[in-house]
Structure 1
Amino acid sequence: MSTGLPAATVADLYRAACLAELDALKPGNVHAYAPGHRMVTADFVTSAEVSAPPLAAEGARVGARVRGGVEATFAAVGQNTNLGILLLCAPLAGAAEGHGPLTESLSAVLADFDASDAANVFAAIRHANPGGLGKAARHDVTDAGPTPSLAEAMAEGSPRDRIARAYTDGFRDFFDIGLPALARARAQGLAAPWTTTAVHLAYLTKVPDSHIARKHGPARAESVRAEAAARLAGLDLAREPVAALLDYDRALKDAGLNPGTSADFTVATLFLDALLRARGEAR
């Protein structure tokens, strides 16, 4: 039987996942090779450091982990650098404390939201005010009145937001896209940070990015996905194609396109992989 991980270990693995993602060349996003979207990697390094304690707080509920991480981040860097990361990593951090297989613990976490989870997640989203949030027909985070359950809100958002969908489908994208991409990259002998780049490109080419969809519409998000799939087809990461990826990176940034959800899923995939390994459940 797997043993739950202590908070200090969860925090360390979370920080390591955040930093590893920054070291990888991820077209259109912020990374060590190039800044972008008026943000620099130093802000994300600081964000990882200050958000780790609330994210990993022993016994904390998902909503408290997310809200604590967002508030710590804003106090340190004054902007939203990690809302999506925290939304994806908070359930994983909670599940990592459980005994038995991590996937079973994750299912239990996702089935056990209470009113405080919804209130804290909604407060965190309002605080972060992510770009292109818009208004939902029901269960909008800016609405006054009673707060819906977190499960209801995520179900309402799932058709248009991949992070919301993760809360409703057991985080299937990690197991269908992220972890398999990471395993293939390692099997090919790629070293970090290129294994991380492989994960990011898997999300970028297989799933329309929710951050792009919020800001530019779902059709634009799908066109970016299709363009990425065509442009990156046959790219050999073993050759460390920095020039080709930086060229695409500039093209996306010049167009004001940031596949931020793909980057969020990349961080969380690395975090999940590290948790599984630490618990002796490596896939």
Structure 2
Amino acid sequence: MDTARAPLAELARTAFLRACRLDVETRKPGNVSVASAGHGMTSAQFIASAGTAAAGLFTARARVGVRILDAVRRTFDAVGCNTNLGIVLLAAPLCAALERFAPDESIDASRWQAATERVLAELDIDDARLAYRAIALANPGGLGDAPEQSVRAPPTVTLRAAMALAADRDSIARQYANGFADVFGAGLDAAGAVTPATEHRAMLDAFLTHLSNWPDSHIVRKQGAAVAQSVTRAAAMHHANWRAAGRPLESPGLDAWDAGLKARGINPGTSADLAVATLFVALLTNAALPSNA
């Protein structure tokens, strides 16, 4: 495909699907990948999920809540399990924000973030209601259970307000509260100027950055805060060593850590979701889309 002349919506869909494929093409410690299945899931399920979820996420003029619920329903119809709820929750506002640009317009990260902030500011209770239904359908362990605004009860506040209540314990909720500051900030800084030649390194760098900076929310829910904090400390060490070695595509140290995390049932899934959102932004704003994406 000639990405130089493709409309923005087509480029965005290509960037999203490429980011999702990079998620499993890149061996990231503790995550499912082409090289290393785990947690009862395979890379094929993640790739199938991305393709079917994209139809919901890129529905023209749909509200954010509709995009979320449609994408989650399509995912369950395709693979029968929750492979991408976090990705969907992050991608929906980003996709909606892109509709604020002209079809032939080139965008940069700062303008996309500003448009995303406007989308977040306009979220309402209907968006919350639809998102709650999606989260309940996906049924991720512990996600959505809270003293206030639990997804098990009808919402009484907007989706952004509900996410803000969870922002101190969930990194995806924090993006709704802070205008995707972690994605457009530390994440993009780590990914750098992505090209087809560097995209796998960019994915791994973004993942390790997110995992090093914040305890992974999925690990907190599954194994507790102490385990999550220990993984974050280990991530910082591995990240520094990997960068010092020149960011190699093959890393025995990271591969061994990957195997060790999976043996303990530890999956830094939220960090992977944040990395996918980061690469979605990086690929589109850098126009780094290979023809076979």
> Unmatched 5+ residue regions in structure 1?
279-283
What does 1:62-101 align with in structure 2 at a 5 Å threshold? 62-99=64-101, 101=111
Residue 178 of structure 2 is aligned to residue 204 of structure 1 = no
Q: 2:139 aligns with which of 107, 113, 129?
A: 129
> Could you tell me the percent identity over the aligned residues?
42
Report the CA distance between 1:196 and its aligned residue.
Answer: 1.3
**What is the DSSP-based 3-state SS (H/G/I as helix, E as strand, rest coil) of the residue aligned with 1:234?**
helix
1:113 aligns with 2:113: no
Identify if the C-alpha distance between structure 1 residues 240 and 13 changes in structure 2 by more than 3 Å, giving closer, same or farther.
closer
The structure-2 alpha-carbon separation of the partners of 1:134 and 1:277, relative to structure 1 and needing over 3 Å to count, comes to closer
* Mean CA deviation greater in 132-141 or 113-122: 132-141
| Shift in CA distance, 231/16, structure 1 to aligned 2, threshold 3 Å | closer
The structural deviation recorded for 1:151 is 1.9
The CA deviation string for residues 62-84 of structure 1, in whole angstroms up to 9 with x for no partner, is 11111110000000000000000
CA-to-partner distance for each residue in 1:5-56, whole Å, 9 max, x for gaps?
6543332221111112211110000111100100000001100111111101
Unaligned runs of 5+ in 2: 1-6, 102-106, 288-293
Q: 1:158 to 1:238 in 2, by over 3 A?
A: closer
**2:135, 2:144 within 8 Å by CA — same for their partners in 1?**
no
Tell me how far apart the structure 2 counterparts of residues 204 and 237 of structure 1 sit (CA, whole Å): 19
Counterpart amino acid of 2:151?
Answer: V
Work out the CA distance in 2 between the residues paired with 1:250 and 1:51.
29
Look up the SS of the partner of 1:153 in the other structure.
Answer: helix
Mapped to 1, the partners of 2:62 and 2:267 lie a distance apart of: 31
What's the counterpart of residue 281 of structure 1?
none
TM-score by length of 2: 0.87
1:230/1:12 Cα in 2 relative to 1: closer, same or farther (>3 Å)? closer
Is 1:151 aligned to residue 153 of structure 2?
no
Map Cα deviations across residues 122-154 of structure 1 (whole Å, 9 max, x no partner). 0000000112337311100012x4543212211
The residue aligned with 1:253 is: 262
1:217 maps to: 224
| In 2: Cα distance, 1:237 partner to 1:245 partner | 14
Write out aligned runs for 1:234-253 (5 A). Answer: 234-235=241-242, 236-253=245-262
Q: Which residue, 26, 34, 37 being the options, matches 2:36?
A: 34
SS across alignment from 1:233: helix
Please give the alpha-carbon distance, in whole angstroms, between the structure 1 residues aligned to 2:20 and 2:279: 8
Q: What residue is the counterpart of 1:263 in the other structure?
A: 272
Confirm whether residue 191 of structure 1 aligns to residue 198 of structure 2.
yes
After superposing the two structures, state which structure 1 stretch, 77-86 or 18-27, moved more: 18-27
From 156, 169, 177, the equivalent of 2:178 is 169
Question: Post-superposition shift, 1:191?
Answer: 2.5
Q: Secondary structure at 1:251's aligned position in 2?
A: helix
The Cα shift of 1:255 comes to: 1.1
Measured against aligned partners, the alpha-carbon deviations of 1:80-111 in whole angstroms (never above 9, x if no partner) come to: 00000010011110111113822221111010
In 1, Cα distance between equivalents of 2:207 and 2:116: 23
The structure-2 alpha-carbon separation of the partners of 1:228 and 1:178, relative to structure 1 and needing over 3 Å to count, comes to same
Amino acid paired to 1:140:
S
**Structure 1 counterpart of 2:217, which letter?**
S
CA distance in 2, matches of 1:175, 1:9: 19
Which sits farther off after the overlay, 13-22 or 71-80?
13-22
Deviation at 1:190, TM superposition (A): 6.6
- Structure 1's 237 and 79: CA in aligned 2 closer, same or farther, altered over 3 A? farther
User: How far off its partner does 1:204 sit?
Assistant: 1.5
CA RMSD of aligned residues (A): 2.2
Q: Quick check: 1:22 aligned with 2:35?
A: no
User: Paired residues, what number?
Assistant: 273
